[in-house]
């Protein structure tokens, strides 16, 4: 499986013009605030429409302006975890996870949800509400919900940004486990360069709406192709303070 993205979008004086391809790997979108990272995820998911371009997962075409294809978000088999997780406060852990299932036989959905609950270390929390579980458990519920329907692609928009450092480390380890269980393309937006280097199979660096560099973390950290990319990674390679990423 793989994901191919070629996007052009103009909005409020900003132009996103980015193209990249990934396989069954975890790709990290890295860049300063306003570079177009979250906008990219929204267009892959169908929550926003490109002005031009192509989005496809293997043979499934989600958007193609030339062929006038634009599949609505509910028909794209894509898992999405938002920065604020977007759990429903009035639903239990079980209810939130079941919400991510495809419309099918209820018993099959329940069986699948129980499998996800066991795999994600949530056993015993089924009747609890989001306000009654920890931050790490909320992260696991959001990931389980996003993966309930066996998506073709998983999108993660800074899901760990609100966590304290020990919990971030725990969730990084858990995301590696998720990656080993689900052989699908994963696209992660993060503001943490260390996190990006630890998790990424491939890093895609955005600068002002364009792909400034694409490659493995070691290549980008040690051989940045421009001053802009160097500024992004200077917290790793030099004494300068870590820049702020959003």
pLDDT single digits (tens) 88-104: 999 999 999 999 987 76
Euclidean distance between CA atoms 141 and 159, whole angstroms: 12
Q: If you average pLDDT over residues 106-126, what whole number do you get?
A: 91
**Domains in the chain, please, with CATH?**
3-77+151-237 (3.40.50.300), 89-150 (no CATH)
pLDDT of residue 159: 87
Euclidean distance between CA atoms 112 and 119, whole angstroms: 11
Euclidean distance between CA atoms 101 and 48, whole angstroms: 22
Q: If you average pLDDT over residues 174-188, what whole number do you get?
A: 93
Contact 1, 25 (CB under 8 A): no
Contact 51, 82 (CB under 8 A): no
> Residue 72: which residues within 8 A CB-CB, separation 6 or more?
46
The number of beta carbons lying within 10 Å of the beta carbon of residue 51 is 14
* 148: exposed, middle or buried (Cβ count in 10 Å: 0-12, 13-18, 19+): buried
pLDDT of residue 33: 87
Euclidean distance between CA atoms 183 and 229, whole angstroms: 30
Provide the pLDDT confidence category of residue 236 given band limits of 50, 70 and 90.
low
Q: If you average pLDDT over residues 29-44, what whole number do you get?
A: 94
pLDDT of residue 105: 63
Token digits of residue 45: 């998911």
H or E segment to which residue 56 belongs = strand 52-57
Q: What is the pLDDT of residues 154-167, one digit of tens each?
A: 999 998 888 888 88
> Residue 158: which residues within 8 A CB-CB, separation 6 or more?
38, 83, 189, 190, 191, 246
- Residue where the block lists tokens 């977007």: 86
DSSP 163-216: S-HHHHHHHHHHHHHHHHH--S-EEEE-S-HHHHHHH-SEEEEEETTEEEEEE-
pLDDT of residue 233: 87
Provide the pLDDT confidence category of residue 244 given band limits of 50, 70 and 90.
very low
């Amino acid at each position: 499986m793989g994901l191919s993205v070629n996007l052009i979008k103009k909005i409020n004086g900003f132009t996103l013009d980015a193209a990249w391809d990934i396989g069954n790997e975890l790709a990290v979108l890295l860049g300063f605030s306003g570079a177009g990272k979250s906008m990219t995820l929204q267009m892959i998911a169908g929550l926003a429409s490109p002005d031009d371009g192509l989005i496809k997962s293997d043979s499934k075409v989600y958007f193609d302006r030339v062929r006038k294809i634009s599949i609505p978000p509910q028909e794209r088999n894509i898992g999405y975890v938002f920065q604020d997780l977007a759990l429903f406060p009035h639903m239990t852990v079980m209810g939130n996870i079941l919400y991510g299932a495809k419309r099918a036989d209820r018993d099959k959905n329940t069986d699948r949800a129980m499998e996800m609950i066991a795999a994600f270390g949530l056993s015993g929390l089924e009747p609890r509400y989001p306000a009654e579980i920890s931050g790490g458990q909320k992260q696991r519920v959001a990931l389980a919900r996003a993966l309930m329907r066996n998506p073709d692609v998983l999108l993660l928009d800074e899901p760990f940004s609100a966590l304290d450092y020990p919990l971030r480390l725990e969730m990084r380890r858990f995301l590696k486990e998720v990656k080993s269980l689900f052989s699908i393309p994963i696209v992660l937006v993060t503001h943490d360069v260390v996190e990006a280097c630890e998790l990424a199979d491939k890093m895609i660096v955005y600068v002002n709406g364009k792909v400034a560099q694409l490659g493995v973390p070691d290549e980008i950290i040690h051989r940045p192709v421009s001053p802009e990319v160097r500024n992004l990674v200077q917290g790793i390679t030099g004494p300068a303070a870590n820049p702020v990423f959003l």
